[in-house]
């Protein structure tokens, strides 16, 4: 964000009014399994299956709230 602010200033655009926190805040429901998937994606091992997905995993849509997901 700091680099973006510097570039913004170089372009002589109006100042940015940041509201804290501008990063690191929760964006909604998140379950522990998704942390594992995210870590695997970053490590490049995302193709490695953790377990066989159940039938429910195939019916989930990205916008499904985590509270409604059961194993």
pLDDT for 11: 93
Cα 32 to Cα 69: distance, rounded to the nearest angstrom: 12
Of the candidates 41, 62, 59, 37, which has an alpha carbon nearest to the alpha carbon of residue 50?
37
**Which of 1-5, 30-34, 39-43, 56-60 is predicted with the least confidence, judged by mean pLDDT?**
56-60
Span 35-59, pLDDT tens digits:
888 888 888 887 776 665 555 555 6
Assess contact for 71 and 55: CB atoms under 8 A. Answer: no
Tell me how many degrees the CA angle 54-56-60 measures, rounded to the nearest 5: 130
57-66 pLDDT, tens digit each: 556 677 777 7
């Amino acid at each position: 964000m700091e680099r973006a602010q510097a570039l913004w200033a170089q372009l002589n655009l109006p100042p940015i009014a940041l509201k804290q926190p501008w990063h690191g805040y929760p964006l909604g429901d998140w379950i522990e399994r998704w942390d594992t998937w995210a870590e695997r994606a970053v490590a490049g091992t995302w193709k490695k299956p953790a377990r066989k997905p159940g039938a429910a995993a195939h019916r989930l849509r990205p916008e499904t709230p985590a509270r409604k997901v059961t194993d």
